């Protein structure tokens, strides 16, 4: 593939300093292409372009803006096959997932916010001496900084509400998966987005810092690790930028003794092996009631054993490679730690061998039992296909243990007892709770974590709160009664 450049003001642009980095195919280890690395002057140019673009964009009506977003969604669907393939090649995600979970999810989001764009409105109220009204205004130029696990989806989840509300966005993809955000930018342009409203700059953490510290940027939305979230918030504090942070997790899935076992097993698998386990909301701590543990484990291991690890471009593949060799080593390190600390391996636990893909970063779907809450793999986010099984005897006990973590992103409850389901959902310290399912994220539903898993919500109309500033206008109906 030819060198990929920066996307600024509706066109590709060479980096001022001429620096490039490489992006690899995680299934083969081969270099896909070189990608331009933005420096400070590129970021400054992107901000100046965004300022001009935003002036044009925010002057358009909500309905006009919405039409552009909906057209972009249509184009995403028309180009689904090629985009899904690019996402699978760049990030190693199985082609069985990317058309729907990545490209489809991005299109859904653009459609949703396209439909909402005309509906942003303020309020009106009479008060003594007159009335006031409020105006939700765009904040200006927003920075979106993405993680590597859902590249085009994250680019859409951040840009769609930002743009619908009349902002411009400068998006920095993760260095490991820089390709599809550029395609989204091309499609935005094709759909009629004015130049400068969506710019893509590329690079590493340093480029991210140029965004979080830039005086011309009003807001930062990051998807990434907790440590990065804290660094971004600290950097943003100097210029008091508002932040939305979608960070990591160590989420519990609680399976009570009256649960539908097959559904619960399916959810535990989705919550640990989909996208090779590289999902922030994953249910990496699966608590199963002691009386059904044996039956649950038997079904889980039997089904997980059938997962096919292999070429992401093979439609029959369930589990692709880890996104990078470094990340694979990190996940394998956690697996070793689990063994050393006394965990009992029920499945997997090794680097997977895939014929023809000897350089690929594959790891076997792994299931640990015999764990306790204080073990490293039960406490820390692994971000790989590693499921930790834990037992429990009472509702009170499991809720307390489920909440005993600094994270608070998500959680799941499996039970047929509706009162217990809602009681437990209410007690879980998590931003998202699924009852009798796991990891579904329709765009209509607010998405975001509690505690150290983040700040703010993405998706749903709630997202507008983070991409608008509310102006209050007081209107006097009488004379000014000055006491002097
Ligand atoms: P990172 O935190 O390493 O990186 C996220 C993004 O931030 C990347 O674009 C990265 O650039 C950039 N970045 C890194 N340091 C800085 C900095 N100091 N200032 C500005 N930008 C910076 O996360 P990963 O990409 O490794 O993604 C995995 C993490 O993301 C996991 O913890 C996962 O849980 C979380 N995540 C959370 C989700 C949620 O919605 N809650 C969803 C998906 C993932 P570069 O890539 O070049 O280093």
Per-block mean pLDDT, blocks of 10 residues, the chain (484 long): 98 97 98 98 98 98 98 98 98 98 98 98 97 98 98 98 98 98 98 98 98 98 98 96 98 98 98 98 98 98 98 98 98 98 98 97 98 98 98 98 98 98 98 98 98 98 97 97 92
Nearest CA to ligand 1 atom 15: 205
Which own/partner contact pairs does 60-66 have at CB distance under 8 Å and 24+ positions apart?
60/166, 61/118, 62/117, 62/118, 62/119, 62/120, 62/164, 62/166, 63/117, 63/118, 65/117, 65/163, 65/164, 65/166, 66/113, 66/114, 66/115, 66/116, 66/117, 66/118, 66/164
In this structure, the residue with its CA closest to atom 42 of ligand 1 is 280
* For the CA of 228, the nearest atom of ligand 1: 2
71-to-16, 98, 169, 352, 463 alpha-carbon distances in Å:
32, 20, 18, 42, 21
Residue of 91, 148, 223, 431 to mutate, ligand 1, most atoms within 8 A of C-beta: 223
CA 143 to chain centre: 15
Atom of ligand 1 nearest to the CA of 327: 26
Expressed in angstroms and rounded, the spacing between residue 289 Cα and the centre of ligand 1 is: 34
Those residues whose C-beta lies under 8 Å from the C-beta of residue 419, and which sit 6 or more positions away, are none
* 458 noted as active-site residue: yes
On whether the CB atoms of residues 411 and 281 are closer than 8 A, the answer is: no
Q: How far apart are the C-alpha atoms of 324 and 124, rounded to whole Å?
A: 53
pLDDT of amino acid 195? 98
Residue (of 303, 320, 308) closest to 269 by Cα position: 303
Is 450 touching ligand 1 by the criterion CB < 6 Å?
A: no
In contact, 281 and 434? CB cutoff 8 Å: no
Q: Please tell me the residue having the least CA distance from ligand 1 atom 44.
A: 280
The answer to whether 306 is a known catalytic residue is no
Residue nearest to atom 4 of ligand 1 (CA): 224
Answer whether 157 contacts ligand 1 (Cβ < 6 A).
Answer: no
Contacts for 414 with CB less than 8 Å, ≥ 6 apart:
253, 254, 255, 256, 259, 260, 263, 264, 267, 435, 436
Best residue among 158, 224, 233 to mutate for probing ligand 1, ranked by most atoms within 8 Å of CB: 224
Q: Which residues contact residue 266 at a Cβ distance below 8 angstroms, ignoring those fewer than 6 apart? A: 303
The residue written with tokens 């080593």 in the block is 329
CA-nearest residue, atom 37 of ligand 1:
247
280 is annotated as an active-site residue: yes
Cβ of 277 closer than 6 Å to ligand 1, yes or no, is no
- Judge whether 319 and 309 are in contact, CB under 8 Å: yes
Distance CA 175, CA 4 (A): 12
Longest distance between any two alpha carbons in the chain, whole Å: 89
CB distance 166 to ligand 1 below 6 Å: no
Contact 200, 185 (CB under 8 A): yes
For the entire predicted model, the pTM comes to: 0.97
Nearby residues of 187 by Cβ (< 8 Å), 6 or more positions away: 72, 75, 76, 79
User: CA nearest 269: which of 385, 378, 133?
Assistant: 385
- Does the Cβ of 138 fall within 6 Å of ligand 1? no
Rounded to the nearest angstrom, the distance between the alpha carbon of 70 and the centre of ligand 1 is 28
Structure-token pair, residue 82: 């090629």
22 is catalytic: no
Determine the distance from the C-alpha atom of residue 422 to the mean position of all C-alpha atoms in its chain, rounded to a whole number.
Answer: 26
Rounded CA separation 375/64 (Å): 54
């Amino acid at each position: 593939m030819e060198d990929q450049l920066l996307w600024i003001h509706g066109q590709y642009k060479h980096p001022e300093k001429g620096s490039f980095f490489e992006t690899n195919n995680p299934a083969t280890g081969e270099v896909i292409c070189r990608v331009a690395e933005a420096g400070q002057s590129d970021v400054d140019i992107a901000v100046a372009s965004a300022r001009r673009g935003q002036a044009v964009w925010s002057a358009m009506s909500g309905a006009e803006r919405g039409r552009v977003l909906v057209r972009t969604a249509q184009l995403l669907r028309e180009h689904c096959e090629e985009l899904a393939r690019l996402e699978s090649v760049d990030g190693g995600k199985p082609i069985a997932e990317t058309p729907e979970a990545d490209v489809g999810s991005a299109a859904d989001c653009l459609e949703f916010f396209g439909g909402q764009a005309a509906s942003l409105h303020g309020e009106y109220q009479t008060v003594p001496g007159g009335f006031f009204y409020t105006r939700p205004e765009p904040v200006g130029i927003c920075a979106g900084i993405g993680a590597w696990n859902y590249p085009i989806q994250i680019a859409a989840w951040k840009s769609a509400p930002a743009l619908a509300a009349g902002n411009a966005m400068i998006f920095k993809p993760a260095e490991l998966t820089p390709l599809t955000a550029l395609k989204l930018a091309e499609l935005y342009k094709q759909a009629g987005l004015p130049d400068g409203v969506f710019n893509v700059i590329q690079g590493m953490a340093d480029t991210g810092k140029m965004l979080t510290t830039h005086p011309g940027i009003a807001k930062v939305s990051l998807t990434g690790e907790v440590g990065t979230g804290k660094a971004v918030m600290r950097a943003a504090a100097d210029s008091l930028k508002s932040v939305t942070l979608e960070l990591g997790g160590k989420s519990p899935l609680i399976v009570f003794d009256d649960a539908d076992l097959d559904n619960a097993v399916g959810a535990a698998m989705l919550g640990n092996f989909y996208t090779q386990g590289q999902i922030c909301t994953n249910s990496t701590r699966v608590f199963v009631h002691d009386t059904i543990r044996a039956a649950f484990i038997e079904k889980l291991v039997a089904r997980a054993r059938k997962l096919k690890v292999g070429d992401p471009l093979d439609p029959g593949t369930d589990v692709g490679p880890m996104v990078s060799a470094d990340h694979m080593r990190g996940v394998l390190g956690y697996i070793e730690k689990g063994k050393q600390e006394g965990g009992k391996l029920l499945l997997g636990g090794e680097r997977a061998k895939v014929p023809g893909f000897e350089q690929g970063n594959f790891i076997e779907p792994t299931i640990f039992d015999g764990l306790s809450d204080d073990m490293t793999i039960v406490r820390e986010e692994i971000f790989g296909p590693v499921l930790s099984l834990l037992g429990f005897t009472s509702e009170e006990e499991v809720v307390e243990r489920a909440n005993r973590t600094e994270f608070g992103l998500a959680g799941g409850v499996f039970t047929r007892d509706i009162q217990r389901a809602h009681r437990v959902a209410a007690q879980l310290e998590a931003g998202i709770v699924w009852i009798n399912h796991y990891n579904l994220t329709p765009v209509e539903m607010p998405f975001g974590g509690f505690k150290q898993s983040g700040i703010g919500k993405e998706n749903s109309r709630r997202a507008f709160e983070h991409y608008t500033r509310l102006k209050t206008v007081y209107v006097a109906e009488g004379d000014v009664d000055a006491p002097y």
